[in-house]
Amino acid sequence: MPAMRLEGLTKHYERASQVVRALDGVTLEIEQGEFVAVVGRSGSGKTTMLDCAGLLMSPTAGRVLLDGVDTGQLSGRERAELRSRRIGFIFQEFNLLPTLSAIENVLLPLRYSGADRRAGRRRAEQLLDEMGLSGRASHRPSELSGGQQQRVAIARSLIGEPTLVLGDEPMGEVDTETAEMLLTLMRRIHRESRVTFLIVTHDLDLAAKADRIIHLRDGHLVGDERMECFGSPVAATAAGSR
Amino acid sequence: MEIARNLWRRKLRTTLTVTGIVMGIFALTTMGAMAEHFNVLLNGGITYVGSTVQVGDAQGASIGNGYMALSTLAQLEKVKGVAAVSPMVSLLADPGSGAVVSVTLPDYVGNIDPNWNRYDPLKLSLSTGRWVTNSSRGEVDLGSSIAAQFHMQMGDTIALPVRPSGAQPGFVNQRFTVVGILNPTLTAPDSAAFVSLDDAQTLQGDELPTVLQGHVDPYQLITGAVVYGKPGVNLDSLADRINAEVSTVKATKPSTLISDIKSGEAVFTVITTATALLALVIGGLSVVNTMIMSVSERIREIGLKKAIGARTRHILGEFVAEAGLMGLIGGVIGYALGFAMTALLNASDSSGGLFLVTPRLTALAIGFAVALGAVAGLLPAIRAARMDPVRALRAQ
């Protein structure tokens, strides 16, 4: 069973009395444990696809199935619960809460999932250690560099032991060297935990280090490449799904 | 903890908002303490008049205004349903204190009533000393307020009535030795100087109009009488029977007196309510304003929390708790300042003061502040909780 299946995913919205077709009938499957990059120009529908896949947005048409569950049938509360238990998010601008320390930011998702706080704290310390931030647990975001903040955000995305991590331009706010380091870190986590990663990026060099690259253009799926090893495509599928 | 930190992020704004609540709750505490004081005072009056029938001269405009013959007591005792009758002699203890408008009961000299503690639900007790008896001469039991006001202790001497400044040349008073000081009742007896009936009549005789002095025996005159009914007797009906059977007196129905007192109580309830409304407007609007700004500034944070699994009730709870905490802080500070102010004013008032901070008022002031904050924060919190996570995350 695929970790995620998008079926004819369509999202239209109205802006200035004009219909914007952000996504237009995208169909794809992502297997459990894949590391997938989504690329495309600005306005191609990458973020909209991620928002729908993360259950933050309801599609105009089509379905999102997570582990075979049709999420369109879920109530708002059930969707929130599913997000809390199964999905981790990493955002471009880190989105750390300025009043919380690094470890408190990591622990934030557990506040809403009702998980055991003591066990959660141990795991948060372990995650910060894995991120190389064990000495920074009590620091506020303003006391951390951009790369450190994003590592805290990555730790936060993993605290609930999700099966799927969605990243919206997670390396977009850091310099090239830090971006490389963050990607390497995510790849290591992926290798060790086999969590499914779906990362939106406009940086093709970084995308080339994924297992698979999905290309979007004007809301359509125009390419789906699987890589044998970093940078070497084994299959290129023009998976236009109109 | 996060809630407190969020409030402290905008120190000036939070301080101003809390100050608004502090002002409102300070006003509520001080005005409420005054209202509580009067309510206790008036409730004591209700207890007293509700358990007795007050009888005065038929020609008197009100009870205690005019004179009755002492012999009338025997007629009153014969009315069906009467358990006991006590003579009542009452006059101002401190005629010189006469403020034009007074918000407390005036100090008065009254005769000791041996029936009081037997029949009246409001029991009097001594904190020190002994009771004045009917055979006592030149002895007085002082209520707690009047004792404090004149700094009287056991064995001290007090001249009653107290000579006013600019007293008329014929002003006469008598000296009394303090033999007992009563425990506070928070109502009328606190302002009383209890002497024997004979002594009270002597003082009353000193105050008789010049044309009457020498022509009437002051020991045969009383100001009024207190009638106690037998158990189960309807006191309103008893008052009617007294008026029908004893033509020289006027008995007032307890229900009429209670109604008069309650109308006075209503004034203080209006004062407290008006103050609460003031607190509501000042504090409530500032909390609404602060929370709207707080929500506007933290849209991305709300979006993030929703994205990572927070449900509507979580967001709602967090913002309402934040507003409620502001209410709590403002409430505690406002109450503490109000408490300090009333304690200070009471301490500077020799009669014991006008303010009474009760546990009920404490709970009301702080509970009201928290509820005010929470309710005022509800609308912005609902706005936050209903926010679309995607739009919130992308907000600038």
Give the domain CATH number at A90: 3.40.50.300
Give the phi and the psi of residue B240 in degrees, each rounded to 5. -60, -45
Stretch B250-275: mean pLDDT: 83
Residue A242: predicted pLDDT: 37
The per-residue pLDDT for B357 is: 92
Q: How far is CA A235 from CA A126, A128, B259, B331, in A?
A: 38, 37, 96, 68
Residue A93 lies in a domain: yes
pLDDT of residue A125: 94
Residue A198 has pLDDT above 80, yes or no: yes
Residue A149 included in any domain: no
- The yes-or-no verdict on residue B188 having pLDDT over 90 is no
d(CA A167, CA A93): 11
Is B395 at the interface with chain A, CB within 8 A? no
Please report the pLDDT score of residue B100 as a whole number.
46
Least confident segment among A81-85, A89-93, B241-245, B349-353: B349-353
CB contact under 8 A, B2 and A57: no
pLDDT at B64: 53
Yes or no, beta carbons of B307 and A85 under 8 Å apart: no
d(CA B167, CA B169): 6
Of residues B99, B97, B88, B96, the one with CA closest to residue B66: B88
Report how many domains make up chain A. Answer: 1
| Closest residue on chain A to B396 (Cα) | A93
Contact A112 B308 (CB under 8 A): yes
Does residue B258 register a pLDDT over 90?
no
For strands A232-237 and A220-229, give the pairing: antiparallel
- What is the pLDDT confidence band of residue A37, given thresholds at 50, 70 and 90? very high
Residue A125, in any domain of the structure: no
Contact B304 A77 (CB under 8 A): no
Nearest to B291 by CA among B258, B326, B263: B326
Confidence band for A29, pLDDT divided at 50, 70 and 90: very high
pLDDT in tens, A103-148: 999 999 998 888 888 889 999 999 999 888 988 999 999 999 988 9
Measured CA angle at B18 (ends B15, B23), to 5 deg: 120
**Helix or strand run (H / E) with residue B55:** strand B53-57
Residue A232 has pLDDT above 90, yes or no: no
pLDDT band at A94 (very low <50, low <70, confident <90, very high): confident
Q: Return the pLDDT at B384.
A: 84
- Distance from C-alpha of A41 to C-alpha of A217, rounded to nearest angstrom: 7
Q: Which residue has the higher pLDDT, B54 or B62?
A: B54
- Asked if B307 lies within 8 A of A156 by C-beta distance, the reply is no
ipTM of the complex: 0.84
Q: Which residues of chain A are within 8 Å of residue B6 when distances are taken between CB atoms?
A: 99
Closest chain B C-alpha to A77 CA, distance in angstroms: 7
For residue B386, the model assigns a pLDDT of 85
Q: pLDDT band for position B358 (50/70/90)?
A: very high
Using the Cβ of A109 and the Cβ atoms of chain B, whether some distance falls under 8 Å is answered with: yes
Nearest CA in chain A to B315: A112
* B65: confidence class by pLDDT, cuts 50, 70, 90: low
- The predicted model gives A213-235 an average pLDDT of 78
User: For residue A98, what are the CA distances in angstroms to A141, B5, B302?
Assistant: 6, 10, 13
Cα B38 from Cα B356, distance rounded (Å): 9
Q: How confident is the model at residue B82 (pLDDT cuts 50, 70, 90)?
A: very high
Per-residue pLDDT for A58 more than 80? yes
Q: Which of B298, B304, B305, B313 is best to mutate for the A interface (most A CBs within 10 A)?
A: B304
Tell if the CB–CB gap between A156 and B389 is shorter than 8 Å: no
Give yes or no for residue A231 having a pLDDT over 60: no
Q: In this structure, what token pair is assigned to residue B21?
A: 């609540």
Find where tokens 């007032």 sit. B252
A-B contacts at Cβ under 8 angstroms:
59
Q: How confident is the model at residue A217 (pLDDT cuts 50, 70, 90)?
A: very high
Rounded to two decimals, what is the model's pTM?
0.72
Is residue B54 within 8 Å of residue B258, measured between CB atoms?
no
Q: Is A160 close to B309, i.e. CB distance below 8 A?
A: yes
B187, pLDDT greater than 70? yes
State CA A150 to chain mean position distance: 13
Give the span between the Cα atoms of B117 and B103, in whole angstroms.
Answer: 27
Check residue A236 and give its pLDDT.
46
Judged against a pLDDT cut of 60, whether residue B390 lies above it is answered with yes
Of B356, B385, B392, nearest to B29 by C-alpha is B356
Cα separation, A165 vs A154, in Å, equals 9
Percentage, residues of chain A above pLDDT 90: 55
Residues of chain A contacting B5 with CB distance shorter than 8 Å: 99-100
Of A26-35, A166-175, B59-68, B141-150, give the lowest mean pLDDT range: B59-68
Tracing tokens 């007085």 back to the chain, one arrives at B140
What number of residues does chain B have? Answer: 396
Query: Is residue B390 within 8 angstroms of chain A, CB to CB?
Result: yes
Give me the helices (H) in A10-113, please: 46-53, 76-86, 102-113
Q: What SS3 state is found at B270? A: helix
The answer to whether A99 contacts B311, with C-beta atoms less than 8 Å apart, is: no
Contact B2 A112 (CB under 8 A): no
Cβ neighbours, 10 Å, residue B256: 13
The pLDDT-based confidence of A241 (bands split at 50, 70, 90) is very low
The residue range of the domain holding A36 is: 4-97+156-237
- CA distances in angstroms from B331 to B130, B270, B360, listed in the order given: 45, 21, 15
Which chain B residues contact residue A83 at CB under 8 A?
A: 307-309
Q: Are A155 and A193 in contact (CB under 8 A)?
A: no
Q: What is the mean pLDDT of chain B?
A: 86
Cβ of A56 and B307 within 8 Å?
Answer: yes
Angstrom distance (rounded) from CA B208 to CA B220? 13
In contact, A165 and A195? CB cutoff 8 Å: yes
Region B121-135: mean pLDDT is: 90
Partner A contacted by B37 (CB < 8 A): no
Q: Distance between CA A148 and CA A158 in Å, rounded?
A: 15
**pLDDT value of residue A224:** 92
Q: What percent of chain B has pLDDT over 70?
A: 96
Is the pLDDT at B312 greater than 50? The verdict is yes
Q: What is the dihedral of CA A199, A202, A207, A211, to 10 degrees?
A: 40
For residue A204, tell me if it sits in a domain.
Answer: yes
A44 part of a folded domain: yes
- pLDDT at position B183: 93
pLDDT at A234: 52
Higher pLDDT, B386 or A196: A196
